[in-house]
């Protein structure tokens, strides 16, 4: 079975790029293409490899520890404890 060939227009439509961008990728050697008469045709295998090569990979996200904030009633307890320390009362 022979390999499927895609026109520059088809590659542009499939990727959402302009025809000029596809031609630039061919000229840069990023896509394997053939000139048959007056048409430039891109190898489907090359097209799929090009997509895989340019795939954006997700970066692992750093683990963020939750920030523990005191509840509103904790400040009242803290004030009461500070008051006891200032008065010199110690519980043994």
Distance CA 19, CA 27 (A): 12
Pairing outcome for strands 33-36 and 5-7:
unpaired
End-to-end CA distance of the chain: 90
In a domain, 11, yes or no: yes
Cβ atoms of 5 and 14 closer than 8 Å = no
Domain of residue 15 covers 5-53
In a domain, 29, yes or no: yes
In a domain, 64, yes or no: no
Domain count, the chain: 1
In a domain, 44, yes or no: yes
Tens-binned pLDDT, residue by residue, of the chain (92 aa):
478 999 999 999 999 999 999 999 999 999 999 999 999 999 999 999 999 999 988 888 888 887 777 666 666 666 666 666 565 555 55
CATH number for 46 = 1.10.10
């Amino acid at each position: 079975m022979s390999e499927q060939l895609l026109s520059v227009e088809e590659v542009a439509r499939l990727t959402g790029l302009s025809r000029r961008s596809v031609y630039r990728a061919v000229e840069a050697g990023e896509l394997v293409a053939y000139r048959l008469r007056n048409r430039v045709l891109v190898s489907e295998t090359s097209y799929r490899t090009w997509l895989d090569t340019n795939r954006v990979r997700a970066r692992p996200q750093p683990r963020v520890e939750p920030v523990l904030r005191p509840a509103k009633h904790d400040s009242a307890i803290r004030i009461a404890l500070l008051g006891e320390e200032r008065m010199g009362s110690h519980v043994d």
